[in-house]
Amino acid sequence: MTPPLRFGYIDESIHDRHGLYLIAVVRAHPSLEGEARDLLTACIPAGQRPHWGKESGAVRDALVRAVASLAVDASVYVCRFAGLHRQEAARARALGWAAL
């Protein structure tokens, strides 16, 4: 049996102060792409494409609620690292988990 066709979005974030590397992945059926884009764009006051790091707390809350309302699979993979020289190892480990 062939698995259902899916599309996905991935974003990563580094929190040096806390020694955390995060990767967020959202997977969905391609038929939801337009609905998802429209719903997320509607959360942004200027109607632009959302970017988590640039949004206010209220907009971030709206984005989380919007994603939660969609028929998608969302996962966050977190890996700790000790020291800046270990970020790439943490990234590789988190990406490996996300790819499973």
Residue 62, pLDDT score: 94
Quick one: pLDDT at residue 54? 85
Taking the CA atoms of the chain, what radius of gyration do you get in angstroms? Answer: 15
Per DSSP, the chain holds a count of helices (H) and strands (E) of 3, 3
What CA–CA distance (Å, rounded) separates 80 from 91? 9
pLDDT tens-digit profile, the chain (100 residues) = 656 667 778 888 888 888 899 999 888 888 888 898 889 889 988 777 777 888 899 999 999 999 899 999 888 999 998 877 888 899 999 988 888 7
Contacts of 65 (CB under 8 A, 6+ apart): none
User: What pLDDT score was predicted for residue 79?
Assistant: 92
Which contiguous run of DSSP H or E holds residue 64? Answer: helix 57-69
Pick from 93, 91, 77, 82: nearest CA to 19: 82
